[in-house]
Structure 1
């Protein structure tokens, strides 16, 4: 083939391609134009229609909506409603990203598996569990997070406290703070710190009752973790214990409000300095119940607050004295 013939053929091919592109463009533009007035078409997703933006002609109706059936008004609500699996959580050692093989020995149709298939599935579950905890750190984390969840459930702590405690433990593990200390001790101290950070504190005695370590070890490990991780934890406020104590004793709102007033007065007088916040809260609850003519014994308050009756009597007199000093002109 000569150069002139080859050039002619190339020119013909280019011309044909340009014609095809022009035809496809014209076809697309015709499809996006109104058949009546030639105006621009727009899609109304709310009504499932395609309408002309100029004359309002409905070109198509009852279109299929491929979006979700729910509505969301902000990004947070959208993330909550999106069905793409369970959200990640710090309360699981793998953050909930791994899969589990169900314990029901049934197939997709609900039929029971044969003995051979059951044995196979049990082997798969065993290997799946082994792969989920591949090294010592993951096994450590799995045990600690299980302890945190168990203790938080026993103490009635909310989910945000469990998440915070899990993050604190992960930081302690990453900073290599565990050598020489028990897993249960660090997990308990992380939960104690998280409860205080969230404003739902529990006393050391309450923490020790659900923990597998002694109270002294919890306090020692807690101070160490807070110092090494640089956690900012404010001193416990006695008023934070009042709602829980009042709820467990079934006291009225008036008694709870009166107890808060007594504690505020004690702070103004400096009575709270150096005193146990749990003891002050228990004494305020007892004093408020007496002032509002509600029948509550020191023994009942002592049992709820997990503190001795002697402490309640001592703090009770101090609170009333501080109240009298304020009332005296």
Structure 2
């Protein structure tokens, strides 16, 4: 017998390896089936344990999948599709750098050729008015979401809402920017990371009146289920922007919970209640923060904070008694 390594396998290991065996390959010693052992990078006989090949290259993926859905999710064949691009990211982009694969600058003739290719590529990517509309709107959504610090899932949801509005022909008579802003505002509230109307209007190209009017129309026509904003959802962001402690955040949540049980929150602005609770909690924990600081972070007036924080403290005293 040749000087070849022989490895012994348990019956369980053999059964795991058998599905990867080649039917036309046989062991040179006993004629048994050959199986591939990916753990040791070897091809082994399932009968006698003879190692026929070793130090093989594993050409499979580095991840494991236990069902078809997980396999499709983990498989990487190009960039994933996304609703944040008008063509779902399936088209090709030509880079703006006039350099070749080695980083060398292109000649003037090659630069002219690449510029023409970019022009025609853009024309083919947006072949009709609907795609041009969608491209502009999704660009606006991405710009505003970046300015507001909203996560990617909110941008995806806003893109889906805008696509629905476009498909159901809700845009005639309304601006692209107005519908895009309304979609982003609705998506942020659905995801539990709301932004106030003033914050949204500050980064939008439309005024607050048009935004509120378009938002109500989009929600009504698309039957969007959007719950009233919870004041507690604003508290972590305000605490972070003011660099306050975890104890202050906990006290602010307790104040809002007391206000909810006493019915103080009814008919009040969620942003105003959240800002007032943060200010009141800072006073209770002896942290240095002024009404002006909270007002700038929350984009509301100091008068609102003064009125609301007194109501919150009274509700908290009532619960304590």
Structure 1 pair 32–128 and aligned structure 2 pair: CA distance change class (3 A): closer
Superposition pairs for residues 286-301 of structure 1, below 5 Å?
A: 286-301=279-294
Name the structure 1 match of 2:319: 326
Report which stretch shifted further, 208-217 or 80-89: 80-89
Structure 1 pair 35–127 and aligned structure 2 pair: CA distance change class (3 A): closer
Name the structure 1 match of 2:84: 91
Superposition pairs for residues 34-53 of structure 1, below 5 Å?
A: 34-53=27-46
Name the structure 1 match of 2:18: none
Name the structure 1 match of 2:238: 245
Name the structure 2 match of 1:106: 99
Q: Choose the corresponding residue for 1:169, options 138, 142, 162.
A: 162
Q: Choose the corresponding residue for 1:181, options 153, 158, 174.
A: 174
The RMSD of aligned alpha carbons is: 1.8
CA distance in 2, matches of 1:100, 1:215: 36
Partner secondary structure for residue 254 of structure 2: helix
Name the structure 2 match of 1:140: 133
Q: Choose the corresponding residue for 1:71, options 54, 59, 63.
A: 63
Partner secondary structure for residue 181 of structure 1: coil
Structure 2: runs of 5 or more not aligned: 1-21
CA distance in 1, matches of 2:290, 2:103: 58
CA distance in 2, matches of 1:197, 1:157: 12
Name the structure 2 match of 1:8: none
Structure 2 residue 269 is the aligned partner of structure 1 residue 257: no
Offset of residue 107 of structure 1: 2.5
Q: Choose the corresponding residue for 2:208, options 199, 212, 215.
A: 215
> Which is higher, the Rg of structure 1 or of structure 2?
1
Q: Choose the corresponding residue for 1:235, options 223, 228, 231.
A: 228
Name the structure 2 match of 1:18: none
Structure 1 pair 128–315 and aligned structure 2 pair: CA distance change class (3 A): same
Offset of residue 81 of structure 1: 5.7
Structure 2 residue 194 is the aligned partner of structure 1 residue 198: no
Aligned residues: 299
Offset of residue 53 of structure 1: 1.8
Partner secondary structure for residue 43 of structure 2: strand
CA distance in 2, matches of 1:253, 1:180: 48
Name the structure 2 match of 1:280: 273
Partner secondary structure for residue 115 of structure 2: helix
CA distance in 1, matches of 2:296, 2:248: 18
Offset of residue 109 of structure 1: 3.4
Name the structure 1 match of 2:145: 152
Q: Structure 1, residues 272-311: CA drift from partner, whole Å, max 9, x if none?
A: 1100000000000000000011111111111110001111
Partner secondary structure for residue 131 of structure 1: helix
Offset of residue 71 of structure 1: 2.5
Q: Structure 1, residues 83-107: CA drift from partner, whole Å, max 9, x if none?
A: 4221111111111111012222222
